[in-house]
Structure 1
């Protein structure tokens, strides 16, 4: 393993996997060493590890009054990765799932969602993924992306990996944006399906993301909206939904979206 790769900023999913005790062997040792020796990695890990704390404080009173027997019966029917309780954590995913169910029993609808959750009480037209992605991007700052290694070979491999999971060709030239450096491509997950995220760092407007999910809705022309204070341009082709999201002006996003759309269709 090259020294550059050894010290590259790990993706969020790798840090969360480390946090949840899902990494083993040399990969766990590598992430552990980075957290201990790299300030940027340590700061990102600290943010991700503490991001659960406010949820616990908010949901604890509901858990105290929740119908415990009903909750436990529902939790026992959940798949193991959801119901499992990570070792050594005071606030587990099982506890968070119980809190979410407690909200339903209490008649309270959660209005915030991150990549591990979704709001099933609102949009049901297939657009809810855009809200989840937009909210997740609000966690990004320029510092989140600034220290990512800009190795062209590694970035091309990331794009191939994302394309393979989505059944889509993603050549670097097709997703390059003029004057806006490409920083990372990675696979996330939404509603049990792969979600491709290609992240850029605009020198003027900050983090910008092109996100892609598989879809059978058919082609649609670009449209724009605002979500969580971010501008969004979204469209679809025969097999995928796309969104470009960031603080960039809508006119600029539309222009960039047209460029990507035409390049991917070529």
Structure 2
């Protein structure tokens, strides 16, 4: 119990307890007397009285949506020794409930922060595909037409890309039926390696299978359009992939599924 005999100004906790009718008779009488004889204490009490109403009005919509019934049920199920303990420390049952609801508010804020973080992370994962699409949109058939296509050179290029990404890339796994493999190279995005495997479709022009290291976890193939090209993208435990080209969407999906299965 707070000793009021030597306190010039009662604590805010004591004044709020007086305001809520939670003091015992002796303390309540003492606070009541101090409010009447001391202008500073009276002013502080008036401020706290108005502040409580403003706080309640501001948070009323949240309070109405808080799971108070569930919290009350949980509180009722607690042993008496636990629910009585806050009162022995100057916290009423209502204060205990208020603290619980306060945790709900914190949880709501944390959830919103987490969702914002997830959205930011998702946007970052999309960025590399946007950069790849913009880069590939500059390619013409002539960009890839005269590149060396011997198998030994291609395998060496794939080895270099695989080493940079920590991934095995055998030539047979990334070969596309009827579409010549032209080049594999390591680019860089956001300070990290980006593997590009380029192809030249005789009918639809340049294509690319691009790979980055990723921590987003496995994700099934999804489709999108960027810079007039179709894109199929997916991820496994450690890497993100995209296959991009001007091929029809259904054809590109079939090609992507073949690569995804071969690399699994």
Query: Into which bin does the TM-score normalised by the smaller protein fall?
Result: 0.5 to 0.7
- Relative to structure 1, the CA distance from residue 123 to residue 222 in structure 2 (aligned partners, 3 Å threshold; closer, same or farther) is closer
- CA shift digits 1:151-173 (9 cap, x unpaired): 21111000000000000000000
Which residue is 1:263 aligned to? 262
Which residue is 2:130 aligned to? 131
Deviation of 1:123 (Å): 7.1
Alignment of 1:180-195 (within 5 A): 180-195=179-194
Which residue is 1:211 aligned to? 210
Alignment of 1:98-113 (within 5 A): none
- The alignment partner of 2:149 has SS state of coil
Deviation of 1:124 (Å): 2.5
- CA shift digits 1:83-109 (9 cap, x unpaired): xxxxxxxxxxxxxxxxxxxxxxxxxxx
- CA shift digits 1:193-226 (9 cap, x unpaired): 0000000000000000000000010000000000
Give the 4+ runs in structure 1 shifted more than 3 A.
none
- TM score, norm. by length of structure 1: 0.53
- Relative to structure 1, the CA distance from residue 161 to residue 122 in structure 2 (aligned partners, 3 Å threshold; closer, same or farther) is closer
- CA shift digits 1:129-181 (9 cap, x unpaired): 10100010011000000000112111100000000000000000000000000
Which residue is 1:231 aligned to? 230
For 1:122 and 1:201, how far apart are their aligned partners in 2?
33
The CA RMSD over aligned residues, in Å, is 1.5
For 1:240 and 1:219, how far apart are their aligned partners in 2?
9
For 2:131 and 2:122, how far apart are their aligned partners in 1?
11
For 2:143 and 2:127, how far apart are their aligned partners in 1?
25
Greater percentage in helix: 2
- The alignment partner of 1:144 has SS state of helix
- CA shift digits 1:207-252 (9 cap, x unpaired): 0000000001000000000011111000000000000001001101
Q: Which runs of 5+ in 1 are unaligned?
A: 1-120
Alignment of 1:16-165 (within 5 A): 124-165=123-164
Structure number with higher relative contact order (C-alpha < 8 Å, ≥ 6 residues apart): 1
Which residue is 2:247 aligned to? 248
Which residue is 1:114 aligned to? none
